């Protein structure tokens, strides 16, 4: 399977993606990661609302899952 990178549509293989994921998992967590996760939560929430208003309910659901995961990573999980 071939994937495309947002930068210049460079082709990426599954193997190169797996290598990148492994490298990311081995990195030390960065204090900045909480800020990035917070930003992702905010943006995913906005995208979810857009998807829902366009009738893209399944996509909205997946974006809501991203919001919840990002909030957990940002330390802003809302426990009910």
pTM for the model stands at 0.59
pLDDT at 26: 76
* pLDDT, greater one: 35 or 20: 35
| CA–CA gap between residue 42 and residue 39 (Å, rounded) | 5
The pLDDT confidence band at residue 80, using thresholds 50, 70 and 90, is very low
Which residue has 């071939």 as its token pair? 2
| CA–CA gap between residue 42 and residue 80 (Å, rounded) | 19
Average pLDDT for residues 46-54, to the nearest whole number?
97
């Amino acid at each position: 399977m071939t994937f495309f990178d947002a930068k210049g549509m460079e082709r990426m293989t599954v193997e190169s993606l797996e290598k990148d994921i492994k490298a990311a998992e081995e990195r030390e967590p960065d204090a900045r990661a909480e800020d990035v996760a917070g930003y992702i939560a905010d943006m995913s929430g906005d995208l979810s609302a857009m998807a829902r208003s366009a009738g893209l309910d399944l996509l909205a659901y997946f974006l809501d899952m991203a919001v919840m995961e990002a909030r957990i990573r940002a330390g802003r999980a809302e426990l009910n």
